[in-house]
Amino acid sequence: MREMNLNQQSEIRERVRQEYDELIQSLFNSTFMLKNKFDEFRNELHDDVFEKVSETRREALKAMSTVREKFGSTIGKKRSEAVFNPLPLEYVF
């Protein structure tokens, strides 16, 4: 009787351990998939922000160029090139 009881306890422990391992594996897989989704979202967000900043920069440069052509410029050529042709955003960020 005692031996049968020990065997049953052992089987129950093994089943519980196996279920626990499966749950942990499932949790790990879910966490990994969630991390990948966050990484993808972060990359898409970065690209969107970079695109918006570039677009705004182009519009500002175009407006500045229009104003410069309309009213002329008193600043030197080198300074003018620095203002109207700044470093690309890759160098800024």
Interval 24-67: pLDDT, tens: 999 999 999 999 999 999 999 999 999 999 999 999 999 988 88
What does the pLDDT read at residue 56? 95
Position 22 confidence tier, pLDDT thresholds 50, 70, 90: very high
d(CA 49, CA 62): 20
